Structure 1
Amino acid sequence: MLPKPFDHVVINPQTALQLPISAIILPASSVPLSKSQSCLPCSTAYKFDVSSSRLKPRLRADIHVRPNLTKRFLRLVRHDKVRLAPFFVRACIPPMYASQGPHPFEPISHDSVDASPFLIDLELLPDVTGIALTSKLFRRLCRSVPASELSLPSHKWTQFWNFPLSHHCRNIWYRLLHGKLPCRTLLHRIMPVAFTSACCPVCLTEEDTWEHFLFLCPSKQAVWRHTWSQHLGVLHFDPAFVRRALFSLVFPAEDSCKSPVAVSMVIGHTLVGFWRAHWALVFDNKPFVPEAIIPQVSKLLLTSHKESLYLSRCSPLPVPHFSL
């Protein structure tokens, strides 16, 4: 499925024929398609008519690939049980009629397969003066986090699952490793009506990219800087340290760590600390104050340390002192 309806996008018929059927139907369709139908290319059900320069449904005699599935899909479209996306409907309108009707549009003049109209609507591409984009590049640019950041080798995933983290810590970390971080840039891109700006809600000055959301925002960077110096023993802080720790699982040396808990727990609880504060600002309008978050992170670390002592059958309380 494409990431949004693209109500105002105009593509040429050649591009439309390369899309899967799952990408050209609206979610409001009353009859769900089977997985086999959804994976079919549009070219199995439609063809380009040279005389009218538009797409038209194939006749029964023209259907040669998966005929039963294709005929059923076209029947659902005819009976209005499956609704087609507006950008695909425009490819079925002859160019001579594009300026007429309640929703006129400017037809595409070239006949190259080009994904750039979708990227322009996603605000990922400023203009169409460059080379026509491939489907591979389109999928890569639609990601909120670069693909290189999301690919951990298998031994790193094993390391991640072996971290002594709470469910809350691991859940947040897992989401960011898979590029599912709800930063304002992503939310504004997929829901521009609900999120009218991509500006960071904390600093109100920079675009809230995933890097800014995690560690480039000045207020959040202050929390990380304190964590790195107070708990991990690293005096010269660099945001690149956080990037490597979160996405490559490369941590500071254990011998420099001042915390009694594992380095992964320090990083995980720091994530939880500013994650809670971030959403308290968004939903409850509570100010994001680094000085208030830092002691909360320390409290979380102390609680985890006591829990680990308890699980190892050691008392978290000091041994009582008796005097004779």
Structure 2
Amino acid sequence: MPDCTHWTVSNSSRSAAPVARLSLGALRRYWHRAKGTITSRMGPPLKLPTHLLLSPALWRTFWSLEMPAKAFTPWWRLLHDRVPHRSWCHKIMPTKVLSPAFALCGFATEDLYHFVVGCHVKSFFWQDVVSLLSLQELLPSASSIWLALTTFCNASDLLVIDEDVLIALGAAYSTLWKYHWRCVIDEEPWIASAAINMVRQDHGTLFSSLSLASVQAGTLALPVNSV
């Protein structure tokens, strides 16, 4: 049998790995007919088929995260594109949902990306959360937060994010979900200070237990965006 030790598989534009050292799962992903889609950068709005978003290993990571039970369902719905945003509701129930416009801002179409991070009120919310957790370097923009929530990777090098950061993001998203539906159902305006105070109330103890830089969930003074 010929020597195959020189066989390699490209794992980025600048590096390669010996075939002999790869797992069967890595080889299957490399030869997958949708490899180009799997390895493409995520961007707004959601582009990848939902079954390609996370590998089995990342799904195991998801279910092992030590975050409140109530945080799993909203995040699971996001990962499976099962969030009842206005675009989807208008498409299937046009006589009941008369417009795809976002109920809280009124002028932009609410798709999945807009629901989570795209709207300016959600963008301000995430800015406050990131400031609270001192994660500005890791999560500098709405698109980086979107990437973290949908692929568990950071935007700079697509490496998997630390589990404590994922726990904090999942917990914060569960509060965004709760406050969003409270505002929509009760027809109340989104108030930035109320949203971040709810995050502190819901998850202050959790945040203080995580290994994050300079987390001061109970005392950190945040700039409040008036929305």
The TM-score, its normalising length taken from structure 2, stands at 0.63
Partners of 2:135 and 2:109 lie apart in 1 by 31
Q: Which runs of 5+ in 2 are unaligned?
A: 1-44, 157-162, 211-227
Q: Which runs of 4+ in 1 moved over 4 A?
A: none
Partners of 1:271 and 1:159 lie apart in 2 by 17
Tell me which residue corresponds to 1:146: 47
The answer as to 2:136 corresponding to 1:234 is yes
Alignment of 1:104-253 (within 5 A): 145-151=46-52, 152-234=54-136, 237-251=140-154
The alignment partner of 1:287 has SS state of coil
Alignment of 1:242-281 (within 5 A): 242-251=145-154, 262-281=164-183
1:149: Cα distance to partner? 4.9
Partners of 1:167 and 1:283 lie apart in 2 by 23
The TM-score, its normalising length taken from structure 1, stands at 0.45
CA 1:210–1:173 in 2, change beyond 3 Å: closer, same or farther? same
8 Å Cα contact 1:185/1:199 also seen in 2: yes
Q: Which runs of 5+ in 1 are unaligned?
A: 1-143, 254-260, 310-324
8 Å Cα contact 1:185/1:198 also seen in 2: yes
1:160: Cα distance to partner? 0.7
User: Which amino acid counterpart does residue 194 of structure 1 have in structure 2?
Assistant: K
1:184: Cα distance to partner? 0.2
Tell me which residue corresponds to 1:304: 206
1:230: Cα distance to partner? 2.3
Equivalent pairs: percent with the same residue?
A: 25
Partners of 1:305 and 1:231 lie apart in 2 by 8
1:251: Cα distance to partner? 4.9
- Greater relative contact order: 1 or 2 (C-alpha under 8 angstroms, separation 6 or more)? 2
Partners of 1:252 and 1:266 lie apart in 2 by 17
The alignment partner of 1:263 has SS state of helix
8 Å Cα contact 1:200/1:207 also seen in 2: yes
Partners of 1:294 and 1:251 lie apart in 2 by 23
Partners of 2:56 and 2:134 lie apart in 1 by 26
The alignment partner of 1:262 has SS state of helix
Partners of 1:305 and 1:146 lie apart in 2 by 31
Partners of 1:272 and 1:200 lie apart in 2 by 19
Higher CA-based Rg = 1
Partners of 1:219 and 1:155 lie apart in 2 by 33
